[in-house]
C-alpha cells in the first residue's frame, strides 16, 4: 500500500526535530548498524555533523512528511576524500508505523532524480544487512547491484549477521579494459 508523503530538505527543519526523528528510527529497528546515542552525543553534535556533511557538493538529506510530521529520512553523504568525491553513501530510515508503505521508495527515487540532475555524484554505495530482504528488494528494483556479501559483518549481542555492500552507478562511466 503506497502512502504519499511530502518531501522536504534538511534546511527546512529545526535540528531538534530532525535529531528526534532520526534517533527514534535508530532506536526502533535492529537494522541500523550505528549506535545513535554514541555517534551523536546531543542535538548540537547531530546538527554540526549534518551541517558539515551538507556543505559537501552532492550531499543531501531529505525528510518524508505525513500529516505535517516527519516519518522518514534519507541521507546521501558525499565522500570527502579528494579522489572519491564522485562517490557517496546512502542511509535511510522510516518510522515503524510507516514502514512497508512505499515511503522509502519515494525518498530514494527523489534522491536519485536529484543526483541525476546535479551530476555531482556518479556512484552511490550502501550497506544493508543480508536478512533485511524488504530493503534489498527495494534497492535492487531501483538499480543497485550487490558487490559483496560480508560474513558476520554486524554483531548484535552475541549474534552475527552478514552485510551486503551494494552500488548504483548514477552516471554510467565507461569501464577501462586495463583497470
DSSP codes of every residue in 69-90: EEEEEEEEEE--SGGGTTEEEE
Residue 12: other Cβ atoms inside 10 A: 10
Q: In this model, does residue 171 exceed pLDDT 80?
A: no
φ, ψ for residue 91 (rounded to 5)? Answer: -135, 150
Q: What span, in angstroms and rounded, lies between the C-alpha atoms of 40 and 20? A: 11
Lowest mean per-residue pLDDT among 29-43, 76-90, 98-112, 136-150: 29-43
Q: Is 72 helix (H, G, I), strand (E, B) or coil?
A: strand
The per-residue pLDDT for 101 is 94
Q: What span, in angstroms and rounded, lies between the C-alpha atoms of 49 and 41? A: 11
The per-residue pLDDT for 35 is 85
Where do the H-state alpha helices sit in 28-90? 36-39, 43-55
Across-strand partners of 90? 76
The per-residue pLDDT for 89 is 96
Q: Would strands 87-94 and 123-129 be described as parallel, antiparallel, or unpaired?
A: parallel
> What are the structural domain ranges in the chain?
6-169
11-32 pLDDT per residue, tens: 888 888 889 889 988 888 888 8
Q: In this model, does residue 97 exceed pLDDT 80?
A: yes
Q: Is the dihedral of CA 41, 45, 47, 51 positive or negative?
A: negative
The per-residue pLDDT for 15 is 86
CATH class held by domain 6-169: alpha beta
Strands in 69-78's sheet, in edge-to-edge order, are 6-9, 60-66, 69-78, 87-94, 123-129, 159-169, 145-156
Contact 141, 93 (CB under 8 A): no
Give the rounded distance of the alpha carbon of 101 from its chain centre. 17
Amino acid at each position: 500500500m503506497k502512502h504519499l508523503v511530502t518531501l522536504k530538505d534538511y534546511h527546512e527543519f529545526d535540528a531538534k526535530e530532525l535529531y528526534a526523528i532520526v534517533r527514534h528510527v535508530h532506536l526502533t529497528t535492529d537494522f541500523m548498524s550505528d549506535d545513535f546515542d554514541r555517534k551523536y552525543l546531543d542535538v548540537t553534535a547531530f546538527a554540526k555533523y549534518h551541517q558539515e556533511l551538507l556543505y559537501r557538493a552532492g550531499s543531501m538529506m531529505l525528510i518524508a512528511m505525513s500529516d505535517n510530521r516527519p516519518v522518514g529520512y534519507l541521507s546521501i553523504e558525499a565522500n570527502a576524500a579528494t579522489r572519491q568525491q564522485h562517490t557517496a553513501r546512502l542511509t535511510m530510515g522510516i518510522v515503524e508505523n510507516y514502514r512497508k508503505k512505499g515511503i522509502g521508495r519515494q525518498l530514494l527515487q527523489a534522491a536519485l532524480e536529484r543526483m541525476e540532475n546535479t551530476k555531482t555524484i556518479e556512484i552511490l554505495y550502501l550497506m544493508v544487512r543480508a536478512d533485511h530482504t524488504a530493503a534489498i528488494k527495494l534497492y535492487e528494483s531501483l538499480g543497485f547491484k550487490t558487490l559483496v556479501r560480508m560474513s558476520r559483518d554486524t554483531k548484535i549481542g552475541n549474534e552475527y549477521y552478514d552485510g551486503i555492500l551494494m552500488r548504483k552507478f548514477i552516471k554510467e562511466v565507461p569501464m577501462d579494459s586495463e583497470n
